[in-house]
């Protein structure tokens, strides 16, 4: 305490009215520090001892200030000389010095601390003492470990890490996150609204971030589908609409590649210095699981489609009329696949192959083929009956123009996909596109597959999708071809029975 009174007297003798207030301010700052602190004068006498040092070692300020060195009370007598020489040596060398010592507590225990010491010089440049800030080694190691963890997450993590502030703007992002967002650099993401980085999924992501800010971290990760912003070359006008348009399919593939599924974990960041938690933002950790989710989706879709084919085959086996069996196959195929199915049969599929002749499977049908509507499911078109009843004996062909996808599929003996645009296509444009192809209003995507049985092309089955569904892809074409093979077998059987009935003087 003598040192404190000397300092106070020196301040008062200078005639500075603010001296006592400065001393009180200094004492308050020292006592409010999170680190323990003590100071020595040039003779090794302790002049300052704050509350954190008192808490850590148990020695009060009154018991510590004014003591000569640390020997016998704060350190063991055998270690005192070496420890004090290292601490006081900071007065004779510039910079900060780091030490690790074992200090004694008031109750006789030992605490391993890490001490940072630095010399204090006066206005004349002479050494006047040394101050020492110390903390328990495990606390310092925990701090360093936390800092190292933060740096590792932001640099080397295989997960994307983004720190979002209370305004939902990225403030820090690691390299993995920048690659996931396809940003040219990490700095390009910072401070920008998420709406400038994402085309779809932004509302769901911002809702999750706001929930974390208000309610805290969720109990489990969330899987969020987003669509990244398209670069200039892959914008909405990059591809044109129409059947077989290569640039349109490339645009669809580009949009599909930009759609990603991110498994996301969220942590609310709060200030440790506030009495009540004050949210600083959200730590968002995510991993791209798009390939895994698509594999799961494709496997589930394949299982469902196989189940539908199996159920359709069992139901069709109970039908006495083969054409009814063909319609059943189409109805089963529609579930989860398309909105409408059309069955158009060739008016003249050619002669029935003879068992004694080797029918060529590679022979293409004539180019002047006429297709007659044999079935349509659902039967009604938005509550309106069709203009020409399906399966009518009139033989009036469907008004397909030259180059129609159904005619192309029939003539090429393959599957043909056609698309009238994306879900954002204007309604009147989509209506004109469907009307030009004699398809029901609202159709946006079509898939035509030839019916082949016993070396002949019997007709075409067409699957149609309306707005809100994605375009048909290669896997959809495979499923349509499997369904078409079953329908073709039923149609061929119906033709055989009809010809045999005609030969016996009646029609089936």
Query: Average pLDDT by consecutive 10-residue portion of the chain (508 residues)?
Result: 39 48 72 81 87 88 88 85 85 82 86 86 83 82 76 79 89 89 85 86 89 86 88 41 44 71 90 66 91 92 93 92 92 92 85 57 61 81 49 72 92 91 63 87 92 91 91 93 94 86 55
What is the reported pLDDT for 20?
60
Which distant-in-sequence residues (6+ apart) come within 8 Å of 210 by Cβ?
168
* Environment class of 416 (CB within 10 Å of its CB; exposed 0-12, middle 13-18, buried 19+): buried
Q: CB count, 10 Å around CB of 334?
A: 17
* Residue 386: per-residue pLDDT: 47
CA distances from 470 to 118, 256, 419, 422, 444 (A): 69, 10, 10, 8, 9
Q: Are 116 and 134 in contact (CB under 8 A)?
A: yes
Which residues, 6+ apart, have CB-to-CB distance to 151 below 8 Å?
none
Residue 381, Cβ neighbours under 10 Å: how many?
15
My answer on whether omega of the bond before 378 falls inside 30° of 0, hence cis, is yes
Cα gap 343→449, rounded to integer Å: 10
Helices (H), 359-413: 405-412
Q: Which two tokens stand for residue 11?
A: 């301040």
3-state secondary structure of 417: strand
Edge-to-edge order in the sheet of strand 443-453: 371-377, 340-346, 456-466, 443-453, 415-419
Contacts of 369 (CB under 8 A, 6+ apart): 346, 347, 348, 407, 410, 411
Strand order across the beta sheet in which 127-136 lies: 46-49, 36-41, 127-136, 110-121, 96-104
Tokens of residue 90, six digits: 């900071």
Burial class (CB in 10 A: 0-12, 13-18, 19+), 398: middle
Q: Minimal CA–CA distance to 492: which of 462, 460, 458, 461?
A: 458
Residue showing tokens 């999170």? 34
Burial code (b: 16+ CB inside 10 Å, e: under 16) for 248-267 equals: beebbebbeebebbbbbbbe
The pLDDT of residue 425 is: 55
Q: How far is CA 100 from the centre of its chain?
A: 46
* Ramachandran quadrant class, 244 (left: phi over 0; alpha: psi -120 to 50; beta: rest): left
475: Cβ–Cβ under 8 A, 6 or more apart, which residues?
A: 298, 301
> Dihedral through CA 377, CA 378, CA 383, CA 388, nearest 10?
10
The C-alpha atoms of residue 160 and residue 255 are separated, in whole angstroms, by: 22
Query: In the chain, what's the furthest Cα-to-Cα distance?
Result: 136
> Residues 90, 117: contact at Cβ < 8 Å?
yes
Q: What pLDDT score was predicted for residue 102? A: 85
């Amino acid at each position: 305490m003598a040192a404190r009174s000397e300092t106070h007297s020196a301040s008062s003798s200078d005639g500075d009215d603010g001296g006592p207030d400065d001393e009180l301010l200094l004492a308050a700052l020292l006592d409010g520090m999170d680190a323990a602190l003590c100071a020595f004068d040039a003779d090794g006498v302790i002049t300052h001892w704050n509350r954190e040092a008192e808490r850590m070692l148990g020695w009060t300020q009154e018991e510590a200030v004014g003591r000569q060195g640390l020997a016998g009370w704060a350190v063991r007598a055998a270690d005192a000389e070496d420890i004090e020489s290292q601490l006081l040596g900071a007065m004779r060398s510039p910079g900060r010095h780091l030490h690790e010592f074992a200090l004694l507590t008031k109750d006789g225990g030992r605490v391993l601390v890490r001490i940072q010491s630095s010399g204090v010089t006066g206005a004349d440049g002479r050494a006047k003492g040394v101050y020492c800030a110390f903390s328990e080694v495990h606390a310092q190691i925990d701090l360093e470990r936390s800092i190292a963890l933060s740096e590792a997450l932001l640099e080397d993590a295989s997960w994307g890490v983004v720190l979002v502030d209370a305004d939902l703007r990225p403030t820090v992002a690691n390299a993995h996150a920048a690659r996931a967002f396809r940003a040219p650099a990490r700095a390009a993401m910072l401070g920008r609204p998420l709406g400038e980085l994402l085309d779809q999924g932004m509302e769901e992501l911002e809702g999750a971030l706001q929930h974390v800010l208000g309610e805290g971290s969720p109990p489990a990760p969330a899987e969020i589908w987003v669509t990244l912003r398209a670069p200039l070359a892959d914008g909405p006008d990059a591809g044109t609409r129409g059947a077989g348009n290569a640039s349109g399919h490339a645009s669809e593939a580009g949009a599909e590649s930009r759609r990603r599924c991110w498994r996301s974990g969220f942590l609310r960041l709060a200030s440790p210095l506030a009495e009540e938690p004050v949210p600083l933002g959200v730590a968002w950790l995510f991993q791209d699981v798009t390939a895994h989710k698509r594999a799961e989706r494709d496997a589930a879709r394949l299982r469902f489609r196989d189940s539908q084919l199996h159920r359709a085959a069992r139901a069709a086996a109970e039908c006495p009329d083969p054409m009814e069996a063909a319609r059943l196959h189409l109805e089963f195929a529609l579930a989860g696949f398309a909105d409408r199915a059309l069955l158009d049969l060739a008016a003249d599929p050619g002669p029935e192959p003879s068992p004694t002749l080797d029918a060529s499977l590679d022979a293409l049908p004539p180019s002047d083929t006429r297709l007659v509507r044999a079935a349509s499911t659902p039967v009604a078109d938005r509550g309106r009956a069709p203009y020409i009843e399906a399966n009518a004996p009139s033989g009036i062909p469907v008004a397909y123009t030259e180059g129609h996808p159904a005619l192309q599929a029939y003539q090429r003996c393959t599957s043909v996909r056609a698309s009238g645009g994306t879900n954002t296509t204007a309604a009147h444009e989509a209506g004109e596109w469907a009307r030009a192809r004699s398809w029901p209003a609202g159709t946006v995507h079509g898939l035509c597959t030839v019916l082949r049985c016993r070396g002949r092309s019997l007709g075409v089955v067409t699957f149609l999708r309306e707005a809100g569904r994605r375009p048909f892809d290669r896997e959809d074409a495979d499923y349509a071809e499997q369904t078409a093979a079953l329908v073709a077998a039923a149609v061929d059987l119906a033709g055989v029975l009809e010809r045999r009935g005609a030969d016996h003087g009646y029609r089936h």
